[in-house]
Amino acid sequence: MASGHESDDPTAEIMEATYRALCEHGYPETSISKIADEFEKSQSLLYYHYEDKEDLLEDFLRYLLDQLEAELDEIDEDDPVQRLSAVLDRLFPRDIDDEGIRFRRAILEIRSQAPYHDVYQEQFKRSDDLILAEIVDAIEDGIDSGAFRAVNSQQTAEFIYSTAYGGIELGVTLEDEDSLERSRVAIDDYIDSHLRMYA
């Protein structure tokens, strides 16, 4: 999510403010009033639209999902390895920066609360499905073109996605950048050794 620039769309501005508050304070400490502190326009707009933090966060997750969908749509790589790598970069970039770590920290906090919030859970399910479908597509393209071995695309996609999610979870919660870097390299190595036809 591009922070720092200002938008003329009030919804986008509220979402940017939510993003900044979550990165700064983490999920439990983020309140409507802390989001309001990050919101430069009339704060009453925010209180008018949202009853509580959960209500706002539901919209925030929808907004993130739309952004993710747009970002995945933008991927325009012909080479299957590059395409798969581009999808993974959206989820788990190489050289993840400090803002990226703080954003993922907040996402993991919100996800940990998904069992108690149906809408959170539904949004995470949708974003999982979206990313998995992209990984499956990239793998199947690679199989069709002869670049990848004839693996089970669904199982392999779920395996790669789990590994990426776990690598983020382990590295972000321990604030260990080396661990994050090693995890991403290990996924790339797996794709090279397990998926590529002529490894």
Counting residues that bind its own copies (by CB under 8 A) gives 41
Q: Which stretch binds its own copies (CB under 8 A): 16-24, 36-44, 65-73, 103-111?
A: 103-111
Nearer to its own copies, 25 or 89 (CB): 25
Q: Where in 27-66 is the site for its own copies (CB under 8 A)?
A: 27-28
Q: Where in 121-140 is the site for its own copies (CB under 8 A)?
A: 121, 124-125, 128
Q: Which stretch binds its own copies (CB under 8 A): 12-20, 26-34, 49-57, 78-86?
A: 26-34
Instruction: Please name which of 68, 74, 61 lies closest in space to residue 15, comparing C-alpha atoms.
Output: 61
Query: How many angstroms separate the CA atoms of 91 and 162, rounded?
Result: 11
Query: How many angstroms separate the CA atoms of 180 and 112, rounded?
Result: 20
Query: How many angstroms separate the CA atoms of 27 and 105, rounded?
Result: 9
Binder among 189, 192, 197, 199 for its own copies (CB under 8 A): 189
175: region left, alpha or beta (phi > 0 left; psi from -120 to 50 alpha): left
Query: How many angstroms separate the CA atoms of 135 and 141, rounded?
Result: 10
Binding site for its own copies (CB under 8 A): 26-28, 105, 108-109, 111-116, 121, 124-125, 128, 155, 158-159, 161-170, 172-175, 179, 182-183, 186, 189-190, 193-194
